[in-house]
């Protein structure tokens, strides 16, 4: 199934994001998570790709296992900043051979342990270039998703700049987008409004992260520039050392957030699972009556 076409036909999507584990034990735990979440019948799942291509082999292995061992539609993330054009075409070609029809095209982060890192001269330094590379060589095969940033990418000086570069990815051939996580829906609504004014009309799926570890999500948020509302911070801070209370509050907030998004006719919901199923399943139970699926 091509995700872009599925969304274009007006279907609502529920999707989950996983990361490739570092150990065989972690991989088996992940597949138990996938088994648990399979009961929800997601539209698709995705597997992330580490900074600088650091998880290339692990990402491919997990993507291939999901594709061969389950009936789920799986999307592979691909970052371009550390790969040559030849390497990128090889990776993309391998995914086609496996039978993968969906890619999330990303620039990717520079490797944190390589302060003198320079991208290959013949590679792609921006995501729109990667989208164009895929389209020029495999445009008939892949549906291409891209990232979007309702609060702006950390490197964007303002939202005008953000929209300009997001539009470049769309014009290159991206047919849907998944947002960075956010906790204040107003940022998403404002971003979609700016996109519409810029004649960007691809589906923009909101990315949701149910909070299960307050300090961890504070770190994630500071890295990607996501704002945690003060009212949520005040609810979570007293229970920062209580996993049970943090989970309860985090799930309650995610349910409220998702119900509001559903009332405003979003094209889908994409959950950042951190390879766990409990919180996502709890959120699903709280919103399933309101879902359009």
Looking at residue 292, its pLDDT comes to: 64
Delineate the domains of the chain, giving CATH numbers in brackets.
3-291 (3.20.20.220)
Residue 150: its pLDDT value, please? 96
Of 40-44, 102-106, 159-163, 216-220, minimum mean pLDDT range: 216-220
Task: Tell me what the mean pLDDT of segment 10-20 comes to.
Answer: 96
By CB atoms closer than 10 A (0-12, 13-18, 19+), residue 227 is: middle
Tell whether the model's pLDDT for residue 293 goes beyond 60.
no
- pLDDT value at residue 144: 98
**Residue 17 annotated among the catalytic residues of the structure:** yes
Least confident of 108-112, 211-215, 241-245: 108-112
pLDDT-based confidence at residue 122 (cuts at 50, 70, 90): confident
Q: What is the DSSP string of the chain?
A: --HHHHHHTT--EEEEEE---SSHHHHHHHHHHHHHHHTT--SEEEE---GGGTTHHHHHHHHHHHHHHSS--EEEEEE-TT-BHHHHHHHHHHHHHHT--EEEEE--PPPTT-TT----TTB-SSHHHHHHHHHHHHTTT-EEEEEE-TT--TT-SSHHHHHHHHHHHHHHT--EEEEEE-S-HHHHHHHHHHHHHTT--S-EEEEE---S-HHHHHHHHHHHTPPPPHHHHHHHGGGTT-HHHHHHHHHHHHHHHHHHHHHTT-SEEEEE-TT--HHHHHHHHHHGGG---
The strand pairing partners of 146, in sequence order, are 105, 177
Q: Distance between CA atoms of 75 and 105, rounded to whole angstroms? A: 10
The mean of the pLDDT values for the chain is: 93
Provide the Cα torsion 245, 250, 251, 255; round to 10°: 140
Residues 6+ apart with CB under 8 A from 112: 51
Per residue in 138-174, pLDDT tens?
989 999 999 999 999 988 899 999 999 999 999 999 9
Residues 46 and 96: their CA atoms lie apart, in Å, by 16
Mean pLDDT of the 170-193 span: 97
- Token look-up 């086609």 returns 96
Could you tell me the sign of the dihedral formed by the alpha carbons of 150, 155, 158, 159, in that order? negative
Q: Place 225 in a pLDDT band, splitting at 50, 70 and 90.
A: confident
* Stretch 241-257: mean pLDDT: 96
Asked if residue 136 has pLDDT above 90, the reply is: yes
Going by pLDDT thresholds of 50, 70 and 90, the confidence category of residue 286 is very high
CA distance 185 to 1: 29
pLDDT for residue 17:
97
Beta bridge partners of 205: 178
Question: What is the pLDDT averaged over residues 13-36?
Answer: 95
pLDDT at 125 exceeding the cut of 90: no
Residue 11 CA to residue 109 CA, distance in Å, equals 32
Kindly indicate the confidence band of residue 51, based on its pLDDT and cuts at 50, 70 and 90. low
- The pLDDT, as a whole number, for residue 113 is 65
Residue range 44-59: mean pLDDT, rounded? 83
What local confidence, expressed as pLDDT, does residue 139 receive? Answer: 85
Which residues pair with residue 145 across a beta bridge?
104, 176
Percent of the chain with pLDDT over 70: 95
Percent of the chain with pLDDT over 90: 84
Q: Active-site residue among 9, 17, 64, 237?
A: 17
Give the max Cα distance, the chain: 53
What does the alpha-carbon distance between residue 94 and residue 106 come to, in Å, rounded to a whole number?
A: 18
* Residue predicted with more confidence, 117 or 157: 157
CA distance 15 to 8: 16
Other CB atoms closer than 10 Å to residue 123's CB: what's the count? 18
């Amino acid at each position: 199934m091509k995700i872009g076409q599925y969304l274009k036909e007006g279907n609502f999507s529920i999707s989950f994001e996983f990361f490739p584990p570092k150990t065989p034990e972690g991989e088996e735990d992940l597949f138990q998570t996938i088994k648990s979440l399979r009961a929800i019948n997601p539209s698709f799942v995705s597997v992330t790709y580490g900074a600088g291509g650091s998880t290339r082999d692990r990402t491919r292995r997990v993507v291939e296992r999901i594709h061969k061992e389950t009936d789920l539609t799986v999307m592979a993330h691909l970052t371009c900043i550390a790969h040559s054009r030849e390497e990128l075409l090889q990776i993309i070609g391998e995914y086609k051979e496996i039978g993968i029809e969906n890619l999330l095209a990303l620039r990717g982060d520079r490797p944190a342990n390589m302060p003198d890192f320079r991208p290959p001269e013949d590679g792609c330094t921006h995501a729109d270039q990667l989208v164009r590379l895929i389209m020029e060589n495999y445009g008939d095969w892949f549906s291409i998703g891209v990232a979007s940033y309702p609060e702006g990418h950390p490197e964007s000086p303002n939202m005008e700049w953000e929209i300009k570069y997001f539009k470049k990815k769309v014009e290159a051939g991206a047919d849907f987008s998944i947002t960075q996580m956010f906790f204040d829906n107003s940022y998403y609504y404002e971003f979609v409004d700016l996109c519409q004014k810029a004649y960007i009309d691809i589906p923009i799926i909101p990315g949701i992260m149910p909070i299960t570890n307050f300090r961890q999500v504070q770190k994630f948020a500071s890295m990607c520039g996501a704002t945690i509302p003060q009212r949520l911070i005040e609810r979570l801070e007293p229970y920062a050392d209580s996993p049970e209370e943090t989970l309860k509050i985090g799930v309650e907030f995610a349910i409220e957030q998702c119900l509001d998004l559903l009332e405003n006719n979003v094209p889908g919901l994409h959950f950042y699972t951190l390879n766990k199923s409990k919180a996502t399943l709890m959120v699903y139970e709280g919103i399933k009556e309101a879902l359009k699926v």
